[in-house]
Amino acid sequence: MKKFIKHVPLWKCHSSKKVRFNLMSRIIILIFMISIFPIFLLISTIIQNTSSNLKRDITNTAVQINDITSSTLATLLEHESSVLTVLSNDTSLLNYEDSNNAKEFTTNKLKYIVDESPFISGISLKAEDQEESFSYPDNTQGKLTSKDLDGTYFYKLAKKNKKTAVSAPYFDSLSKELVITITSPILNNSNEFLGAINLDISMGTFSEYLNSALEKYKGHFPLESMIYLSNGNILASTAGEAINTKLVLLPGGYHIVNTHDEEFSASFKDIPYYFYRGQTINQLNFITYIAEDKINSLVVDMLQPLVLSITIIFMISLIIGLIYTTRFLKPLQYIVHTLTKLKANDLNIHIDTSKIKTKDLLEIALATNELTHHLSTSIHDLKKTSGSLLKDASAVDQVSTQCNHYATATLNAINEIKAGAKEQITQVTDAIASISTLHCQCENGDTIKEQLNEHSTYVISYVQQGLQTSKDLTLAINTQRDKLYELRIKVKDLGEKSSQIASILITLQAISRKINLLAFNASIETTRAGQQGNGFSVIAQEMQQLADTALSFTQNIQTIVEDNIASVSYVSNNMKQVILAEQTTENVLGEVQKQFDSIEGATTLVEQSIKAVNDILTSVSLTKDVIHVDMQTIFHIAEKIINLTHSSEDYGNIEFATLQELLSTSESLTQSSQYLETQIGQYTI
């Protein structure tokens, strides 16, 4: 009996006490998150790009200021050096002690040069033949230190080197200001030293020029600039540091002096700065710097209007989105309210689609109304179906009970038929076993018969092969004997020819001895003839050599012929023994052939006996096959009866199980119909 499982709707499994955001809150939060992320990304990108661009512009401006300042100082020194060179070529300036007019002329010329340039603080000159120097203004003596009271340092320097020299910046103790002195010798056409002229450049005036140039080129950037010596003394500064102050003594100044990077950051007077180093000219170091907090202030000032505009645009967009979302959510709330009632099994609902303006929501509302209508129709149909199911389940229960009774009777009859069929198949099985034993014995007889046939065939074949082999062997021996006779005759002829060769060799040896004797006689006659017989002497020598060679060859041939005669004699003797052995073998083969003839006769008799046995076994085998076929037929019929009884039993069991399932299904159908009635009663139509 199947157990009926009650199905519970999935939505009833969720806890109703869990707090959730409503749909409108979720959409508002989602819109806000989607909107705010690109804004933050855009603002961060703008801040990063603005900061990078600002730092790049500040760097370019600082490098430009450093280049302008250094180039201005280099141009200034070069210009003033050229002015001083022009003055040094005017030897009339050295006549300042000759008369008042000459003194006034020198004064006016020096005054004109000093007044013409804002950077020249004074000019002084001294002639080699004069005790006193002359200067404009009067306090311009070109002092390096307060110890050089007579002011002859640059004079001696010019006299010694006889070329223009530029000093490093120094503090003049007489004029009380920081100056750079350019000194140049005054030489005549013979390059003789006549005197020297010094020109002082005021670094204070140059510092004022630096401030004005910085204000002109720095734009809106709060840059500061500084010039200091390699020993750390500050020569000019736009940040208010005292001139001639030691930079290394200020907080962070040591790091600035010892850092040679073109761009670096350092703390100066406890404030973080970015520094941009320029070129070094005549021990003068040019550097421009800006405070880090001022860069941040510039970034904030630049970004403030942009961020404000973006914020206003974002707020306006957010308000518009909220308005549109609210208008969009009203129809959605109608749909959610309808679905909530539908969830509560209230089918008496309908959505007013005339209030919905959005196409997607209108389609959802129409689909919801259609779903509600279909659910109502389905519930009505289910009510009718549940009533019919209850009636059908009762009828099925009655029919199943009757069928169950009939199935029990059928199974009992099948069991009786199966028992009788099993007893019959046991008897048939025993008979088939006896026939199988007889079949095996017949098969063994067939096997033995086949083996005898095969063995007799092999024996006859081997006997015939033996007879043929003995005949072939006899023929081969006869042929070999004929060949041996022929070979013996040829060996005899070879011996006779070897004897003839030996007699010919004896004749050749006699001829060689005669030739040798003739050659010996010819040599004797040549000796008698003297010089006239020289040609004949050569012929005699050749004849003697030919005779010796022929004699040697005949001796070798004689040795070979003697060996050949001995071999022929040995072969001839052996041939006689081989011919005797051949005759003995031929006699033995005759006896063997007679034995094979006897075996062939006996084999013929065996073959006839095997044929008689074969006929008997064939008759037995045919009778056995007929009996075996009949018994197999009986066995197959018995097996079919058993199989039919098994099939009938299986069908009876299946029918019985089907009836049991039908009864169980009938009960389940009754319970399902009752549950369906209960569930339909929960819906409000």
Question: Residue 149: its pLDDT value, please?
Answer: 46
Whether residue 71 is predicted with pLDDT greater than 80 in this model: the reply is yes
Asked whether residue 533 carries a pLDDT value surpassing 50, the answer given is yes
What band does 523 get if pLDDT is binned at 50, 70 and 90? confident
The class level of CATH for 53-298 reads: alpha beta
CB contact at 8 A, 186 and 88: yes
Q: Lowest-confidence range among 38-42, 341-345, 442-446? A: 442-446
Query: Is the per-residue pLDDT at 609 higher than 70?
Result: no
Token readout for 490 is: 């040829």
pLDDT digits (tens, 9 = 90+) for 102-156: 788 888 888 888 888 888 888 888 888 877 778 887 655 544 444 454 556 777 7
In this prediction, residue 127 carries a pLDDT of 83
Cα–Cα distance list, 624 to 391, 483, 596, 612 (Å): 69, 66, 41, 19
Q: How far apart, in whole angstroms, are the C-alpha atoms of residue 338 and residue 351?
A: 7
Token code pair at residue 36 = 């705010």
d(CA 652, CA 403): 11
Is 284 in a helix, a strand, or coil?
A: strand
Distance CA 472, CA 480 (A): 12
Residue 10 has pLDDT above 50, yes or no: no
Class of domain 374-679 as given by CATH = mainly alpha
Which of 206, 203, 199 has the alpha carbon at shortest distance from 113?
A: 199
At 309, the pLDDT band (50, 70, 90 cuts) reads: confident
pLDDT at position 372, please?
77
Contact 93, 109 (CB under 8 A): yes
List pLDDT tens digits, range 260-308.
888 888 888 888 988 988 888 777 788 888 888 888 888 888 778 877 8
The arithmetic mean of pLDDT across residues 3-32, rounded, is: 48
pLDDT digits (tens, 9 = 90+) for 367-410: 777 777 777 777 777 777 766 766 766 666 666 666 666 667 66
Q: Given a cut of 60, is residue 566 above it in pLDDT?
A: yes
CB 154 within 8 A of CB 183: yes
> Whole-number mean pLDDT of the chain?
73
10 Å CB burial of residue 14 (0-12, 13-18, 19+) is exposed
> CA-CA distance, 440 to 434, in Å (whole number)?
10
Residues 334-363 as b/e (b if ≥16 CB within 10 A, e otherwise) read bbeebbeeeeebebebebeeeebeeeebbe
Percentage of the chain with pLDDT > 70?
60
CA angle 430, 431, 436 (to 5 degrees): 95
Q: Where in the chain is the domain with CATH 3.30.450.20?
A: 53-298
Q: Which amino acid is at 4?
A: F
| Predicted pLDDT of residue 35 | 65
Burial 515-529 (b: 16+ CB within 10 A, else e): bbeebeebbeebeee
- pLDDT of 521 reads 76
Q: Where residue 541 falls among pLDDT bands split at 50, 70, 90? A: confident
pLDDT band at 1 (very low <50, low <70, confident <90, very high): very low
What residues does CATH 1.10.287 cover in the chain? 374-679
pLDDT for position 396 = 66
